Amino acid sequence: MGLWAEGVLNDDQEHAIAEEESVFLVACPGSGKTRTLTYKVASELAKLDSHRRFVAAITYTHRAADEIEERVTGLGVGTEQLWIGTIHAFCLEWILKPYGVYHPELKNGFQVINSHESEAILKRLCGTRSSPRVTTFDCGYFFTDSAMELGCRAPSKLPNVRAVLSDYFAETRAQRQVDFEHILKYAYELIRDNRVISRVLANIFSFIAIDEYQDTKQIQYAILASIIRAGAGETRTMIVGDPNQSIFTSLGGFAMPAKDFQALISVPLREMSLSRNYRSSGRIVGYFGNYNVQGTTIVAASPDVSHPSELTFDNRTSKEDLETEIARLIRHSVVDLGIAPSEICVVAPWWIHLAHLTRRLVALMPEYEFDGPGLVPFSRDVDNFWFKMARISLTEASPRMFLTRLRWAADILNDLGLAGVDTSRISSRSFLRESNSVVVEESDGLAYLASYYDALFARLGIRYSLYRSLQDQHAAFFASSRERIDRLSSDGAPYLSDVALFRRVFRPRAGITVSTIHGVKGAEFDTVIAFALLEGMVPHFSDADQVDGAKKLMYVIASRARRNLHLIAERGRAASWNRPDHDTTVPLRRLAYSYDK
């Protein structure tokens, strides 16, 4: 291909990248999906023959965006004409901010509120309703292109849920506040009612990559398809994902069939697949194939295909003995099998399970460190300005991190400009120089960040308190972080306020990962230990599709493992004091498999 050495990609990956038409790519776990998408983006950037044209890459998470951008840069391709980020960030930057004046709800200005702020409003409003009582968990919702869908599945609660949401919408509308779901709603309505927007964006973007399509919402498909359709063949796409890993259905995500997506975009679409798994042993691949609800082809192609993997299922250990058994499995992996602690993951359906367990594991295993998204000690609102600042302040100024921190600095300066701050005299490099010069002597993480921010902006000559959006986000970041630390501490997660733990958030993982099933998607480990594989938890009791939902979660769990997989459905975990224990989740209970002793 010219941008990389021969043999770096397999034939299927090469063909997907070389395809001139739009591509609908179904990729099994471990098949090099991210690599293929990265090389495709790099290839499309190299083809650009005008500085007015751009490539867009829509990712499910900001972390995935950072990873792909780093890989593209590593290929020696400039990213000046690459826009990469989540669909919410795309809609905000390219639709709401430039065209919001054409929407009656946005024409007088708006303020984006983060998840903590919206939850605080909902929590207050829920407190005004009783019989039956509803919580913020019951009030989940999302929009399609024609309606609002509720996450609550309890008919008795629905009247109160609708009343709370009606009050919530009235309050946020009066305050000109826009939450993440309304970003999508307003973006769709603007594109629907002003067709010129799609044509303008199609003229800007010659190529749009869409990652993790199985987690994409109907309204997101509609927004992106409108732009591709307006390009009339001049705006192409590669849409990539695995329908077997569609585990965000409660949030509206679903795997749209290729024929339906082609009908939306109205341009030629080539269906292709990546079916060779380079991650896991043959035994692991064969095992998670039992949960393949879509019937996709998966071929074990790892160098460790013949590895004698350990694969166990334990439905006898009691809840009281669970931490002892997991500690035994961890020590067995490290001591007997030579697995590095950073290549071990402990996973469960809900964070509350992990929080309590982690406290006990730390006491049982003081020689090991534990990492994980659930242990992040401050608010992980990736769109909050002060979270972006935390990335700069908590990472070391090393050559290895220079390009990454330079991108973060550029993102921060862009946000400052949008807030009304004059940044004409500040470059990304000068921002980093000032940041690197700040010295703060604080052991408490939140106190450290607060002092760091004040010192850095004093050096820059910027009084951020004069800018409402920065001040509001500052208050939200620290309030939600304090609430998070207090909540996790009460659940048993240790040492959350220490700045040393804050610094570990942005470092490559070094300890044993603890994560929810949803949080671990996209990662891989030599040993995976999963517990609480029980009915009502795998999947959640509110999931409309219990059997296929459970299969997809089991597929995700098992496909994270390279070499060893330990599954636990512990006894004695009851929904309440007067109800029977949860039984093993149905697909796992029904599967006849010859597990190791």
309/368 same-domain check: yes
Q: Which helix (H) or strand (E) holds 302?
A: none
Question: Among 482, 501, 520, where does a domain finish?
Answer: 501
| pLDDT of 116 higher than 80 | no
Give domain status of residue 422, yes or no: yes
- CA–CA separation, 446 and 499 (whole Å): 8
Q: Decide if 554 contacts 533 (C-beta within 8 A).
A: yes
What pLDDT shows up at residue 576?
63
> Residue 587 — φ and ψ, nearest 5°?
-60, -35
268/287 same-domain check: no
420/446 same-domain check: yes
Which residue range is the domain that position 18 belongs to? 11-95+185-274
Give domain status of residue 566, yes or no: yes
| Mean pLDDT calculated for residue range 221-241 | 97
| pLDDT of 569 higher than 90 | yes
pLDDT band at 488 (very low <50, low <70, confident <90, very high): low
**pLDDT tens column, 506-558:** 877 778 999 999 988 889 999 999 999 999 999 887 776 788 999 999 999 99
| Mean pLDDT calculated for residue range 276-305 | 96
What pLDDT shows up at residue 64?
86
- CA–CA separation, 42 and 79 (whole Å): 9
Give domain status of residue 366, yes or no: yes
What pLDDT shows up at residue 411?
84
Model-level pTM? 0.87
What pLDDT shows up at residue 374?
59
User: Which letter does DSSP use for residue 249 in this model?
Assistant: G
Question: Among 457, 472, 501, where does a domain finish?
Answer: 501
84/191 same-domain check: yes
195/78 same-domain check: yes
What pLDDT shows up at residue 495?
57
| Mean pLDDT calculated for residue range 461-483 | 89
Tell me the pairing of strands 141-143 and 148-150: antiparallel
82/209 same-domain check: yes
Give domain status of residue 102, yes or no: no
Give domain status of residue 5, yes or no: no
What pLDDT shows up at residue 298?
97
366/391 same-domain check: no
394/480 same-domain check: yes
Return the HEC string of 409-466.
HHHHHHHHHHCCCCCCCCCHHHHHHHHHHCCCCCCEHHHHHHHHHHHHHHHHCCCHHH
90/190 same-domain check: yes
What pLDDT shows up at residue 578?
63
- CA–CA separation, 313 and 568 (whole Å): 6
What pLDDT shows up at residue 107?
94
| pLDDT of 370 higher than 90 | no
Q: Decide if 345 contacts 322 (C-beta within 8 A).
A: no
108-117, 176-185, 201-210, 279-288: segment of lowest average pLDDT: 108-117
pLDDT band at 353 (very low <50, low <70, confident <90, very high): confident
Q: Decide if 384 contacts 411 (C-beta within 8 A).
A: no
What pLDDT shows up at residue 492?
55
Q: Which among 563, 567, 515 has a CA at the least distance from the CA of 345?
A: 515
Q: Which two tokens stand for residue 282?
A: 């043959």
Give domain status of residue 364, yes or no: yes
| pLDDT of 4 higher than 90 | no
> Residue 151 — φ and ψ, nearest 5°?
-80, -25
| pLDDT of 345 higher than 90 | yes
**pLDDT tens column, 88-97:** 999 999 999 9
The per-residue pLDDT of the chain, averaged, comes to: 91
More confident residue, 360 or 17: 17
Question: Among 274, 290, 323, where does a domain finish?
Answer: 274
| Mean pLDDT calculated for residue range 408-430 | 89
72/206 same-domain check: yes
What is the amino acid identity at position 76? Answer: G
pLDDT band at 375 (very low <50, low <70, confident <90, very high): low
| pLDDT of 1 higher than 70 | no
Give domain status of residue 212, yes or no: yes
- CA–CA separation, 562 and 345 (whole Å): 11
Q: Which helix (H) or strand (E) holds 545?
A: none
| pLDDT of 280 higher than 60 | yes
Give Cα separations from 416 to 153, 412, 424 (angstroms). 42, 6, 11
pLDDT band at 106 (very low <50, low <70, confident <90, very high): very high
249-263, 483-497, 573-587: segment of lowest average pLDDT: 483-497
| pLDDT of 459 higher than 90 | yes
List CB contacts of 22: < 8 A, sequence separation 6 or more: 228, 236, 237, 238, 239, 265, 267, 268, 269, 270
pLDDT band at 276 (very low <50, low <70, confident <90, very high): very high
What percent of the chain clears pLDDT 90, i.e. is strictly above it? Answer: 70
pLDDT band at 496 (very low <50, low <70, confident <90, very high): low
Q: Decide if 401 contacts 435 (C-beta within 8 A).
A: no
What is the amino acid identity at position 22? Answer: S
| pLDDT of 2 higher than 80 | no
What is the amino acid identity at position 423? Answer: T
What pLDDT shows up at residue 195?
95
Q: Is 307 exposed, middle or buried (0-12, 13-18, 19+ CB in 10 A)?
A: middle
| Mean pLDDT calculated for residue range 441-469 | 93
Q: Which residue has the tokens 């993951």?
A: 345
What percent of the chain clears pLDDT 70, i.e. is strictly above it? Answer: 95
368/287 same-domain check: yes
**pLDDT tens column, 128-177:** 888 899 999 899 999 999 999 998 888 999 999 999 999 999 999 999 99
What pLDDT shows up at residue 114?
79
- CA–CA separation, 137 and 168 (whole Å): 14
Q: Which CATH number belongs to the domain containing residue 46 in this structure?
A: 3.40.50.300
- CA–CA separation, 555 and 543 (whole Å): 17
pLDDT band at 221 (very low <50, low <70, confident <90, very high): very high
pLDDT band at 359 (very low <50, low <70, confident <90, very high): confident
| pLDDT of 373 higher than 70 | no
What pLDDT shows up at residue 212?
95
213-217, 334-338, 373-377: segment of lowest average pLDDT: 373-377
Q: How many residues in the chain?
A: 597
| Mean pLDDT calculated for residue range 497-502 | 82
pLDDT band at 98 (very low <50, low <70, confident <90, very high): very high
pLDDT band at 493 (very low <50, low <70, confident <90, very high): low
158/231 same-domain check: no
How many distinct structural domains can be found in the chain? 4
Give Cα separations from 398 to 245, 402, 507, 563 (angstroms). 36, 6, 12, 33
| pLDDT of 43 higher than 70 | yes
| Mean pLDDT calculated for residue range 476-493 | 77
| Mean pLDDT calculated for residue range 356-380 | 78
Give domain status of residue 63, yes or no: yes
Q: Which two tokens stand for residue 323?
A: 């931490």
